[in-house]
Amino acid sequence: MKTYLFDFDGTLVDSMPYFIAGVLKELDKKNCKYGKDIIKTITPLGVVGTAEYFIQNFDLNMTVEELIEAFKVNIATAYFYEISTKKNVIEALTELKERGASINILTAGPHVTLDACLKRLGIFDWFDNVWSCDDFSTTKANPELYKAVAKCLGVGVQEVLFFDDNLDAATTAKRAGMKVCGVFDESSADYVSQMKAICDFYIYDFSELSKIE
């Protein structure tokens, strides 16, 4: 493979606990009741999709715009100052760059936190493209998103290897025609067997990336 597309949260960086806590904080403020599956539900939706989902399913007297601003406030500090890359990510990305591969990001998170985190980590300029789902006005639950990204990359959708820790996103990308590599994250630990059944590859650590052909 020569074209790689990476999710950000839970894939390249250890951010899912911060992201999840930040968005669920708004439900907790209202004493809303939710099940453990809510994490699986909201992670592929992006900030806008999560806000819409919360408003549709919980008693929140807020607009989508107000809820998104609240999310950003809740998570901003972690992205600006705390979140780090996952183990062996820097080494794996360095190897791909040295091989002349195209490396790109597609994430549900907004640019305001995404870009700041990448720049603090010193790897923003390593990527050929850094995309938020907001750039395409849709979510990872839409198969057309992955086809649109491949078109932007100038390759066939089947020529892209997509990395994600989320079962729904991996399933949708696979349905769109991409090759998919599942990535282990504690937030999706309950879905490892399902991820392995869906994905072309599965890694627990980025040191395994060199084994993927």
**Euclidean distance between CA atoms 207 and 28, whole angstroms:** 38
Q: Residue with structure tokens 């004493």?
A: 31
The two tokens of residue 54 are 């919360």
Residue 11 pLDDT class (50, 70, 90 cuts): very high
Mean pLDDT of 135-148: 94
**Euclidean distance between CA atoms 22 and 18, whole angstroms:** 6
The DSSP secondary structure of 184-208, one letter per residue, reads: --GGGGGGHHHHHHH-SEEESSGGG
Residue 2 pLDDT class (50, 70, 90 cuts): very high
* pLDDT given for residue 39 in this prediction: 84
**Euclidean distance between CA atoms 139 and 181, whole angstroms:** 19
* 105: pLDDT strictly greater than 90: yes
Closest by Cα among 200, 202, 174, 177 to 188: 202
**Euclidean distance between CA atoms 64 and 39, whole angstroms:** 19
**Euclidean distance between CA atoms 179 and 190, whole angstroms:** 22
Per-residue pLDDT tens for 83-103?
A: 999 999 999 999 999 999 999
Verdict on whether the full-model pTM lies above 0.85: yes
Share of the chain above pLDDT 70, in %: 99
* 212: pLDDT strictly greater than 90: no
* Mean pLDDT across the chain: 93
* 197: pLDDT strictly greater than 80: yes
**Euclidean distance between CA atoms 149 and 6, whole angstroms:** 12
Rg (CA), the chain: 16
107 and 131 Cβ atoms separated by less than 8 Å: yes
CA distances from 132 to 44, 92, 158, 183 (A): 12, 22, 21, 19
- How far out from the chain centre does Cα 5 lie? 10
* pLDDT given for residue 213 in this prediction: 65
* pLDDT given for residue 42 in this prediction: 83
